[in-house]
């Protein structure tokens, strides 16, 4: 019996796929099709796949040409599969010509003619609902955001606004409009990305939501719990999406870490320690240390270490003690917080002018998770145990500045009319704002 194997994503199954499968089947007696797993596609940069793996498997089966479907999960799996299933022929479309010659050591490699004029990418583009987005506050982060938005289907940067028009012009993609006022920008678009200094987030997000626009707001979204609650309430009333743009929250590796821990791999979580620090010159940290711009290490970076804490331990902490070292302007250059939960304790450490190891350790009753610095750009972590033979290392891809994941989630929420994201829920975002508020009120606060 001659066995043939082929692989693909098979998103929005089309005629090209059907022709390919027919031709592959005709090469032998038994056809195995490897369909890519969702996480594998995301990892290799295919962020825009529409059908999930189950839907894609069903569609491939329904063609009637397939004898067996397997899931493709990792790079290098093709060789393993060819050996495991004793495959005679590896077949793939001619768009891959030459790319799989290395498999000829293991079986015959055949490039089949590709059907012209159709692809999943084309079909996605045709059916796409495009979200017209306006960018407000055109500094460093917005520049990265604009560049990465080109990696996400269904989003179009329609206009930009900055109090200094040159800043908007500098980062604007071709053809984008430079708005003369914030209000003009909001009127033109479906959704707004707010990347202005912290204190402008609340009035700008509120205005945009009241105008019925979706909002993706940089982190920390607001510095008061009541303001956060109000914004989410307005979003709900208006039927629009409000997301806090905490890039770590949406990245694939961090989410896998959370799901592994929630599945009990390190037992009950008893402690979390997360840190982040920057030791840059005063010149580079001007805004970050400006008391009039809500400067300081907690406001600047606190929502990153708070993220694993609220995702894993929840939002119902019993109390928080905060310890800070303040500079001459009363701005915290170092802050350490200890949060007590009913059956766990978490601590976070932040420095702007104080350096500390920026790692994340999650301690459990069976083992612990270790994410080395910079853990907020998670691309690698380990689960470690008393018996070192059980330790496991996990590797992922982190693309550029990692903003494409939050953009993708924001757009997916809008397109699918899913008003909140499980990756950073309104409750979690509100809880973080209450921590900021407690700090501002100097409650349970100790000066170092
Ligand atoms: N294929 C084909 N003809 C097409 C499109 C795809 O023969 N018009 C083949 C590919 O060469 C591959 C298989 O179908 O062997 C699965 O490809 P996949 O990447 O899932 O399909 P695309 O439509 O090319 O997807 P995308 O646009 O997302 O790259």
Mutate to test the pocket of ligand 1, among 11, 45, 93 (most ligand atoms within 8 A of CB): 93
Name every residue whose Cβ is closer than 8 Å to that of residue 331 and which is 6 or more positions away in sequence: 289, 290, 291, 295, 296
Q: Whose CA is nearest to atom 14 of ligand 1?
A: 17
**Structure token digits, residue 182:** 């914030």
For residue 7, the model assigns a pLDDT of 97
- Please report the DSSP string for 162-185 in residue order: -SSHHHHHHHPPTT-EE-SSHHHH
Name every residue whose Cβ is closer than 8 Å to that of residue 431 and which is 6 or more positions away in sequence: 225, 306, 310, 315, 317
258 by DSSP, 3-state: which?
helix
Name every residue whose Cβ is closer than 8 Å to that of residue 174 and which is 6 or more positions away in sequence: none
Q: What is the largest CA-CA distance in the chain?
A: 80
* Residue in the structure block whose two tokens are 């992922």: 396
Mutate to test the pocket of ligand 1, among 7, 9, 34 (most ligand atoms within 8 A of CB): 9
Q: How far is the CA of 8 from the centre of ligand 1 (A)?
A: 7
Q: How far is the CA of 438 from the centre of ligand 1 (A)?
A: 54
Mutate to test the pocket of ligand 1, among 95, 112, 115, 116 (most ligand atoms within 8 A of CB): 95
Q: How far is the CA of 407 from the centre of ligand 1 (A)?
A: 25
Distances (CA, A) of 245 to 166, 202, 344, 377: 24, 14, 27, 14
- Please report the DSSP string for 401-417 in residue order: TS-HHHHHHHHHHHHTT
Q: How far is the CA of 11 from the centre of ligand 1 (A)?
A: 9
Q: How far is the CA of 152 from the centre of ligand 1 (A)?
A: 19
The residue count for the chain: 448
Q: How far is the CA of 12 from the centre of ligand 1 (A)?
A: 10
Distances (CA, A) of 162 to 137, 139, 170, 299, 423: 5, 9, 11, 22, 29
CB atoms within 10 A of CB 259: 10
Give the number of C-alpha atoms closer than 13 A to the C-alpha of residue 56, restricted to the C-beta side: 24
For residue 153, the model assigns a pLDDT of 80
Q: Are 313 and 269 in contact (CB under 8 A)?
A: yes
- Please provide residue 309's backbone torsions phi and psi, each rounded to the nearest 5 degrees: -65, -50
Q: Which helix (H) or strand (E) holds 134?
A: strand 131-136
**Structure token digits, residue 6:** 């082929």
Q: Atom of ligand 1 at shortest distance to CA of 114?
A: 7
Q: How far is the CA of 97 from the centre of ligand 1 (A)?
A: 13
Q: Atom of ligand 1 at shortest distance to CA of 12?
A: 23
Q: Which helix (H) or strand (E) holds 371?
A: strand 368-371
Q: How far is the CA of 3 from the centre of ligand 1 (A)?
A: 21
**Structure token digits, residue 390:** 């059980």
Residue 383's beta-bridge partner residues? Answer: 369, 392
- The radius of gyration of the chain's CA atoms, rounded to the nearest angstrom, is 25
Which mean pLDDT values do the consecutive 10-residue runs of the chain (448 residues) have? 97 96 98 93 82 91 96 94 97 96 97 93 79 96 95 91 97 97 98 97 98 98 98 98 97 91 95 92 77 92 97 96 94 96 97 92 98 93 97 88 93 88 96 97 95
Distances (CA, A) of 364 to 6, 361, 415: 42, 10, 38
For residue 128, the model assigns a pLDDT of 65
C-alpha 288/C-alpha 290 separation (Å) is 6
Q: Atom of ligand 1 at shortest distance to CA of 9?
A: 20
Q: Whose CA is nearest to atom 25 of ligand 1?
A: 120
Q: How far is the CA of 56 from the centre of ligand 1 (A)?
A: 13
**Structure token digits, residue 321:** 């003690």
Nearest to 275 by CA among 248, 302, 254: 302
Q: Atom of ligand 1 at shortest distance to CA of 92?
A: 15
Q: Which residues line ligand 1 (CB under 6 A)?
A: 6, 8-11, 16-17, 20, 92-93, 95-96, 114-115, 118-121
205 by DSSP, 3-state: which?
helix
Catalogue all structural domains in the chain, each as residue range(s) with its CATH number.
Answer: 3-123 (3.40.50.620), 126-248 (3.40.50.720), 262-397 (3.30.360.10)
For residue 6, the model assigns a pLDDT of 98
Any alpha helices (H) in 296-403, and if so which ranges?
297-301, 303-313
Q: Atom of ligand 1 at shortest distance to CA of 118?
A: 8
Strands 380-384, 345-352: pairing kind: unpaired
pTM of the model: 0.82
C-alpha 341/C-alpha 378 separation (Å) is 25
**Structure token digits, residue 265:** 């791999």
For residue 91, the model assigns a pLDDT of 98
For residue 154, the model assigns a pLDDT of 84
């Amino acid at each position: 019996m001659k066995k043939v194997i082929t692989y693909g994503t098979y998103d929005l199954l089309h005629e090209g796929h059907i022709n390919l499968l027919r031709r592959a089947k005709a090469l032998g007696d038994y056809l195995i099709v490897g369909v890519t797993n969702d996480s594998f596609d995301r990892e290799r940069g295919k962020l825009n796949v529409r059908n999930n793996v189950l839907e894609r498997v069903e569609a491939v089966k329904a063609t009637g040409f397939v004898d067996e479907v397997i899931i493709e999960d990792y790079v290098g799996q093709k060789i393993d599969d060819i050996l495991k299933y004793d495959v005679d022929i590896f077949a793939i479309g001619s768009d891959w010509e030459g790319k799989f010659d290395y498999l000829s050591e293991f079986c015959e490699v055949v490039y089949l003619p590709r059907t012209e004029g159709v692809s999943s990418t084309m079909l996605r583009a045709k059916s796409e609902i495009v979200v017209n987005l306006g960018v407000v506050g055109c500094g460093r982060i917005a520049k990265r955001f604009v560049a990465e938005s080109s990696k996400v289907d269904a989003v179009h940067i329609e206009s930009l606004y900055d109090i200094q028009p040159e800043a908007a012009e500098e980062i604007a993609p071709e053809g984008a409009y430079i708005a003369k006022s914030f209000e003009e920008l909001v009127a033109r678009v479906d959704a707004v990305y707010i990347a202005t200094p912290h204190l402008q987030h609340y009035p700008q997000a509120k205005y945009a939501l009241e105008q019925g626009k979706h909002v993706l707001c940089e982190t920390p979204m607001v510095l008061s719990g009541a303001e956060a609650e109000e914004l989410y309430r307005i979003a709900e009333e208006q039927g629009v999406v409000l997301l806090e743009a905490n890039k770590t929250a949406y990245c694939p590796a961090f989410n896998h870490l959370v799901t592994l821990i929630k599945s009990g791999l390190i037992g009950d979580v008893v402690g979390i320690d997360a840190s982040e620090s920057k030791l840059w010159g005063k010149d580079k940290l001007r805004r970050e240390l400006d008391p009039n711009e809500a400067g300081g290490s907690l406001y600047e970076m606190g929502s990153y270490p708070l993220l694993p804490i609220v995702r894993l331990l929840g939002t119902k902490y019993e109390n928080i003690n905060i310890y800070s070292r303040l500079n001459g302007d009363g701005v915290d250059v170092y802050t350490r917080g200890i949060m007590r939960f009913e059956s766990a304790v978490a601590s976070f450490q932040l420095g702007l002018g104080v350096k500390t190891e920026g790692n994340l350790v999650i301690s459990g009753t069976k083992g612990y998770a270790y994410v080395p610095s910079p853990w907020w750009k998670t691309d690698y972590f380990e689960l470690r145990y008393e018996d070192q033979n059980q330790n496991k290392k996990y590797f992922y891809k982190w693309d550029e500045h990692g903003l494409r994941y939050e953009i993708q989630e924001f757009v997916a929420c809008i397109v699918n009319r899913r008003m909140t994201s499980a990756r950073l829920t309104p409750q979690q975002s509100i809880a973080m704002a209450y921590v900021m508020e407690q700090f501002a009120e100097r409650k349970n606060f100790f000066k170092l």
